[in-house]
Amino acid sequence: MIQAIDRAAKVLQLLQGARHLGITDLAAALDLPPSTVHGIVSSLREHGLVAKERGGQRYMLGPTLLALSNVYLDTLDVRSRALRWTQDLARRTGLAVRLGAPHFSDVLVVHHVLRPDDTPQMLETGMAVPAHASAMGKVLLAHDQAFRAAVLARPLRSLTAETVTDPSALAALLDPIAHRGWAAEEDEAVLGESSLAAPICDARGDVIATVAVVFATADGPAPATVLTALRDTARNVSRELGGTSWPPRAATAQDRTG
């Protein structure tokens, strides 16, 4: 691994999620001298990957990353195949819809359809969702053994009182999810927010993404019609990607041990 690139990547990771940090904060998090971190940040600023607050001393992600992320999203076949189906799901359910794909130990929201109403909402495309605290993440963890290993290899952060932070307890939830073909989450990442998610598979039968509906916990539980519409959407997107059967096959004990 090239040290300079590794350090620059860690700076960008620390600044993700609209975080604004100063050189001292970054240096403490990276366990590096402030002068070293200042040099890294200065190089990233020259390429537009990091920007400095106007009139301040803290740094945030820069505009070049937005351009690069848009290029990345445009190249995702699953996103282009899912556009009309996710729009239809939002219309059928009246709920916001997220399309997610695994990204390190998180789920990256690669497409977001706002609720079809007039309430204020924020577009979430590009947002990273903790895998262990989301319905989307649980779906991917239930089907993708490499992703499961990556997530369980590090401590599970507590986000609310409902977050499952014990690896064994989380692992125990995953096999039932794989067998029934959907996952649920209630107040585990954000208080007052719940979701349901279902897997999307490709022509090889591998689960490569997940689609979810998001609703206020106070409005739950979601009716059976919402789950039916969600599963229909996951099945239709999978067919668009060449999937011949849905839901995907649950992994066996032999699959998990190799």
Q: pLDDT digits over 209-228, tens only?
A: 999 999 999 998 999 999 99
Q: What is the mean pLDDT of residues 186-190?
A: 96
- The pLDDT confidence band at residue 169, using thresholds 50, 70 and 90, is very high
- The pLDDT confidence band at residue 2, using thresholds 50, 70 and 90, is confident
Transcribe the chain into DSSP letters.
--HHHHHHHHHHHHTTTT--EEHHHHHHHHT--HHHHHHHHHHHHHTTSEEEPTTSSEEEE-HHHHHHHHHHHHT-HHHHHHHHHHHHHHHHHSSEEEEEEEETTEEEEEEEE--SSSS-----TT-EEEGGGSHHHHHHHHH-HHHHHHHHTSPPPP-STT----HHHHHHHHHHHHHHT-EEEESSSSTTEEEEEEEEE-TTS-EEEEEEEEEEGGG-SPPHHHHHHHHHHHHHHHHHTT--SSSPPPPPHHHHH-
For the chain, what is the mean pLDDT?
90
Tell me the HSE value of 10 on the side-chain side, using a 13 A CA sphere.
Answer: 17
How much is the pLDDT for 254?
42
How much is the pLDDT for 252?
46
Q: Is the pLDDT of residue 13 over 90?
A: no
How much is the pLDDT for 1?
61
Q: What is the mean pLDDT of residues 80-98?
A: 96
Q: Is the pLDDT of residue 70 over 80?
A: no
Q: What is the largest CA-CA distance in the chain?
A: 58
- The pLDDT confidence band at residue 66, using thresholds 50, 70 and 90, is low
pLDDT digits (tens, 9 = 90+) for 36-49: 999 999 999 998 88
How much is the pLDDT for 183?
98
| C-alpha distance across the termini of the chain, in Å | 27
- Amino acid identity, position 79: R
Contacts 24+ apart (CB under 8 A), 62-67: 65/12, 66/126
Per-domain residue ranges of the chain: 3-65, 76-257
Q: What is the mean pLDDT of residues 67-80?
A: 70
Q: Is the pLDDT of residue 234 over 60?
A: yes
How much is the pLDDT for 35?
94
CATH fit for domain 3-65, picks 3.40.190.150, 3.40.50.1860, 1.10.1060.10, 1.10.10.10: 1.10.10.10
Percent of the chain whose pLDDT exceeds 90: 66
Look at domain 76-257 and name its CATH class.
alpha beta
How much is the pLDDT for 73?
59
pTM of the model: 0.76
- The pLDDT confidence band at residue 4, using thresholds 50, 70 and 90, is confident
Q: Is the pLDDT of residue 118 over 50?
A: yes
Residue 37, Cβ density class (10 Å: 0-12 exposed, 13-18 middle, ≥19 buried): buried
Contacts for 230 with CB less than 8 Å, ≥ 6 apart: 89, 93, 182, 196, 197, 198, 211, 212, 213
Instruction: Report d(CA 9, CA 13) in Å as an integer.
Output: 6
Instruction: Report d(CA 177, CA 183) in Å as an integer.
Output: 6
